[in-house]
Structure 1
C-alpha cells in the first residue's frame, strides 16, 4: 500500500503542503505571462523581457537559499518544527496578495523576495520533520510519500493557473477581476488552507528537544580519498539537477511560439514532469530503502543527461510532453533517495541545519536554471538545455566519486561487510530488521551518531577503510 510504513503525521504534512504547493506553482505559470502583459512596466534593469522574467522567478530561489540555513539553525536551537512551518505559510499567503498591487518590475521583484524569505521557514521545518518522524529503514519511503503529495499540488497548480488566466476576466459580486488577479487570490487562498491543515493535523515528535547548532555546512571531508563532505556533494548534485528541471518556465513565450501552442498546453508540459514524480516517488523511495539510496541517485542523474538535452530539439507539443514525462521519471530516482541518504548522514539534533544544505542547493538550482535559461535563449533554443545536460553530468560525477552509500533498511539487518562503492551488502541480508543500524558520515573527519531512546550512545567498529558509528534508532 502507498502509506504502508509511513508515519501518519508525514502523510498529513504532505497533504497540507500539497495546498501551498498549488499556491507556489500558480506563480510559475502566471508571473511570466504577467510580466509580458501590459499590466506591468517601469524600469527593466536594462534587461530583455525574458531576462527580467528569469530574474524575478530566480530571485525566489536565491533569497530562499540565503534564509534557509539561518532558519534551520534556529529551528534546531528552539527544538520546534511546526511553528516554523506555520510562520512560513502565513507569510506566503499574505505576501501573495501583494502581487495584485505590483505593477512595476521593481515591485514584482520586491514581493518575490519577501515571499521567498517566508517560504524558507516552511521548507526547512518540513524536511527536518519528515526525517525525524520516519521509522527505521523507511526514510526513503516517507520522503517519497511526502514529496508525492506536495508535488501533486505543484503539478495541479500550473493546470489551474493556465485555465484561470486564459478564461479571465471574471465578474464576482459586481466586481471585475482579471485572470491574473483571480490567479493571485486563488494562490493566497491555497496558502491559507495549508495553514489550517498543518495547524490541525501535524505535530512535532514528542522527544524533539532544543539542540546546539554547532553542525551545519561542511564543505571538505578531511579524508584523503574524498575532497568534499558527502552531504555537501549531495547538495551540489541537487543544485545541478534542479537547474535542469526548471529551464522551461522562464522561456514560456519562446516555447509557445516554437511549438505553436498556448498557455494551457505549456501548463500540461510543465505538469507532465510533476505527474511522473507524483506516481513514481513513493515507489522509488521504497526501493531505494531496500537496494541503496546512492545507487538510485546515480541512475537518476545518468538518465537526466539525455532527457534534458532532447528538450532543446523538440518541435511539437506532444514531443515536449513525452520528454517531460521521461524527465520526471528519472528525477524521481534522485529526489527522495537523496534526501533519505542525507538524513542518514546527518547528525543527531542537526536535521534542520544539515538537511537545509540540500534544500538550499535545490532552491539555488531552481534559481540558477531560470536565470541560465533566460540568458542563454538568445543563443538558440538548444542552448539552455545543452547547458542543463552538462550540469547533470557534473552532478553524476560528484555523487559517483564523493558520496558513499548510506545504510538501507536491509543493510541494517546484517552484520556482514558493507560495500561502500554502492551502499548495499555483499551478500543477502536477513529478512528480520535489526533495530541497531549504521549511521555514518563517511568522508568526514568525524563520525555522526544518533541517540537512542535511553539517551546513551552505542558503537561498534567495522573492518573497513572508513569508520562507521552504529547506534540505536530513536
Structure 2
C-alpha cells in the first residue's frame, strides 16, 4: 500500500520530511489515545461504585489494565521487530476503540475488570511500539530530543483528559465520556492507517525476555522504572487521600494539582530531551530523582492549595528532567536488541511497578498512616540515586 506522503518504508531511506510526517502522525495517535484514557480514568471509581464495587473491586479494575500490559508488552514489542510495527498499532487502536464502547453496557465489576484487561492488551500493541518507531528514526546523539519530544504526547493527553472528561460528564453523562474515548481512538486509528509506513526494526538475533531484563544497557532504565513506579503510584493513588484528609483540598483542587504535575512534565520533555543529548544522562536521572524525593518527603507537612501546587511543580520537574534521559538510554540499547523489544521490556517493568507499589504503600498506610506512604516512597527514590551517580564520571573520580 502506498502511504500518503511517505516515500519509503525503510527508515534508513526515509527523508527528513518522511520522518516529520511519521513523527507527527504517531504523536497525534498517542496524544488522542491518551486523551481518551485521561477522560475516563477519573470517572472509573464512581462508575465502579454504581456497579456495587468495594475498595478491593475498584483496585482490581485498575490493576487489571496494568496487569495485561505487563504480560503482553514485551512480546508485542519483540514481535514488532520481526513482523513489522504498523499492523500492531492499527490492530491495537481498532481493538481499543471497540473495547471503549463496551463500558456502556457493562453491568458488573467482573465485566468492567475484563474490559479493562482487554484494553490493556490493546494499548500494549500501541504505546511501546510507537516509541520503538521513534527509536528507529532517532539519529545517533539525538535520542533524548526525539524521545523526549514524543513522550510529551502521553503527558499532555493525560493532563488535559480529566478536565475534558469532567466537562463532558457535566453537560451530558458518563456514557458520552466513553463514546468520546472511542471517538478519539478512532481519530488515532485513521491517522495511523493513512500515514504510518510498515517496516521491521533492524534485523537482529532475538533476545529472550530474561536476557533483556539483565542486559547491561537496560539495567539502569529498569531500576529507574521500578523507582518511578513507586513515586507515581504514591502520587496517583494516595495523593487524593492525603490531600483530602490532611491538606484540606477539595476534589477539584486535587485534580488541578495532578494535572499541573503531569502537564509540567510534558512541557519539559523537549527541552530536557535536548539536555540529555548534551550532558551525562545519568546525572540528569539522578537530579530528577532527588527532586522527586524532596517533593514526596514534603507532602505530609503541606496544607492548602498553594503548598500542593509547589509539590506538583517539583514532581513534574523531576519527571521532566529524568524521563527523556532514561528513554534515550533505552533507545541506544534498542539499536542492539531491537527497539520494540527494548521499549516493550521497559514499559512492562513500569506496569509491574504500578501493580506492586499501591499494594506495598497501602500496607504502610494501614499499619502506620497515610504520611508514611510518602516517606517510604521518598526513601526508595533517594536510595536509588547513588546508583545513577556512580555512572557519572565526576562522582566516580571523586570516589576513587
Q: Normalised by the shorter chain, which TM-score bucket?
A: 0.7 to 0.9
The 1:315–1:304 alpha-carbon spacing in structure 2 relative to 1, beyond 3 Å, is same
> Is 1:299–1:333's contact at 8 Å kept on the other side of the alignment?
yes
Structure 2 distance, partners of 1:180, 1:371, is 28
Structure 2 distance, partners of 1:289, 1:322, is 28
- The match for 1:238 is 225
- The match for 2:120 is 116
The 1:252–1:142 alpha-carbon spacing in structure 2 relative to 1, beyond 3 Å, is same
Q: Does 1:58 align with 2:71?
A: no
What secondary structure is seen at the aligned counterpart in 2 of 1:26?
helix
CA RMSD of aligned residues (A): 2.8
What secondary structure is seen at the aligned counterpart in 1 of 2:223?
helix
Greater share of helix residues, 1 or 2? 2
The 1:399–1:256 alpha-carbon spacing in structure 2 relative to 1, beyond 3 Å, is closer
- The match for 2:336 is 348
- The match for 1:40 is 51
**Cα shift readout 1:271-319 (whole Å, capped 9, x = no counterpart):** 1111111211100000110112222111111221111222333222332
Gaps (5+ residues) in structure 1? 171-178, 222-227, 406-418, 424-474
Deviation at 1:204, TM superposition (A): 4.2
Structure 1 distance, partners of 2:331, 2:210, is 14
The 1:162–1:251 alpha-carbon spacing in structure 2 relative to 1, beyond 3 Å, is farther
What secondary structure is seen at the aligned counterpart in 2 of 1:285?
helix
Q: 1:304 aligns with which of 292, 297, 318?
A: 292
> Is 1:59–1:109's contact at 8 Å kept on the other side of the alignment?
yes
Deviation at 1:180, TM superposition (A): 2.1
**Cα shift readout 1:90-135 (whole Å, capped 9, x = no counterpart):** 2221112112222322222111111111111112211111111112
- The match for 1:148 is 152
Alignment of 1:32-431 (within 5 A): 32-35=45-48, 37=49, 39-41=50-52, 44=54, 49=55, 51-78=56-83, 80-165=84-169, 167=170, 170=172, 179-204=173-198, 208=201, 211-214=204-207, 216-218=209-211, 229-251=216-238, 254-255=241-242, 257-258=244-245, 259-348=247-336, 350-378=338-366, 379-401=368-390, 404=391, 419=393
The 1:204–1:188 alpha-carbon spacing in structure 2 relative to 1, beyond 3 Å, is same
Structure 2 distance, partners of 1:84, 1:56, is 25
The 1:157–1:219 alpha-carbon spacing in structure 2 relative to 1, beyond 3 Å, is same
Which protein shows a greater Rg? 1
Size of the alignment, in residue pairs?
379
The 1:157–1:40 alpha-carbon spacing in structure 2 relative to 1, beyond 3 Å, is same
Structure 2 distance, partners of 1:217, 1:127, is 21
> Is 1:237–1:394's contact at 8 Å kept on the other side of the alignment?
no
Deviation at 1:5, TM superposition (A): 11
Structure 2 distance, partners of 1:327, 1:384, is 16
- The match for 2:43 is 30
Structure 1 distance, partners of 2:212, 2:153, is 32
> Is 1:162–1:263's contact at 8 Å kept on the other side of the alignment?
no
Deviation at 1:395, TM superposition (A): 3.3
Deviation at 1:349, TM superposition (A): 5.7
> Is 1:60–1:367's contact at 8 Å kept on the other side of the alignment?
no
Deviation at 1:326, TM superposition (A): 1.2
TM-score (ref. length: structure 1)? 0.73
Gaps (5+ residues) in structure 2? 1-15
Structure 2 distance, partners of 1:380, 1:349, is 44
**Cα shift readout 1:388-432 (whole Å, capped 9, x = no counterpart):** 21221243244344xx57xxxxxxxxxxxxx59789xxxxxxxxx
Structure 2 distance, partners of 1:269, 1:122, is 28
Deviation at 1:156, TM superposition (A): 0.5
Q: Relative contact order (alpha carbons < 8 A, sep ≥ 6): 1 or 2 greater? A: 2
> Is 2:129–2:343's contact at 8 Å kept on the other side of the alignment?
no
